[in-house]
Amino acid sequence: MSQVKIEVNINVDDPKQVKALNSFIGALKTKAAPAKETAPPTGIKIEDIRALLAKKVTAHRTDIKAELTRLEANNVTSLDPEKYQEFMNFLNGLK
């Protein structure tokens, strides 16, 4: 977890500033913890996809980008883990 130090100078006699600070602190407290990375049900990890992708991307960049777009991902990192198997099947089908 990254830590950031925030220094705030406000006029405590100004209700708008106090309210804004309280809202900010409240937003920090309610921020959801990041989800833990888990392997998708297929057992395929993003590292598996990246390894295969590295072998295929030079010859098939346009096709790969089109498939990622079809799977509603801008890149491999944003690919839904539920779609890892489908994308691996696609990559394995490229010659």
**Confidence bin at 72 (pLDDT 50/70/90):** very high
The whole-angstrom separation of Cα 91 and Cα 29 is 42
Residue 38 pLDDT greater than 70, yes or no = no
Phi, psi (rounded to 5 degrees) for 37: -75, 130
Residue 17 lies in a domain: no
The whole-angstrom separation of Cα 42 and Cα 73 is 19
Residue 53 lies in a domain: yes
Residue 13 lies in a domain: no
How many structural domains is the chain composed of? 1
Q: Which domain holds residue 71?
A: 46-93
Residue 55 lies in a domain: yes
Predicted TM-score (pTM) above 0.85: no
Residue 71 lies in a domain: yes
